[in-house]
Amino acid sequence: MRPTPVHLAEFPELAVIEVLDSALAVTANALFAVHAELESSDFTSEIPDVSVAACLADAVMTNLTALQTAIDRYRSYVLNADSRRRCAPPPTF
Per-residue pLDDT band for 45 (boundaries 50, 70, 90) equals low
Q: Which of these, 56, 58, 24, lies nearest to 41 by C-alpha position?
A: 58
For residue 22, the tally of other CB atoms under 10 A from its CB is 10
Concatenating the DSSP letter of every residue in 17-41 gives: HHHHHHHHHHHHHHHHHH-GGGGST
What residue ranges do the domains of the chain occupy? 16-86
pLDDT higher than 70, residue 90: no
Kindly report the pTM of this predicted structure.
Answer: 0.73
CA distance linking residue 7 with residue 15, whole number of Å: 9
pLDDT higher than 80, residue 92: no
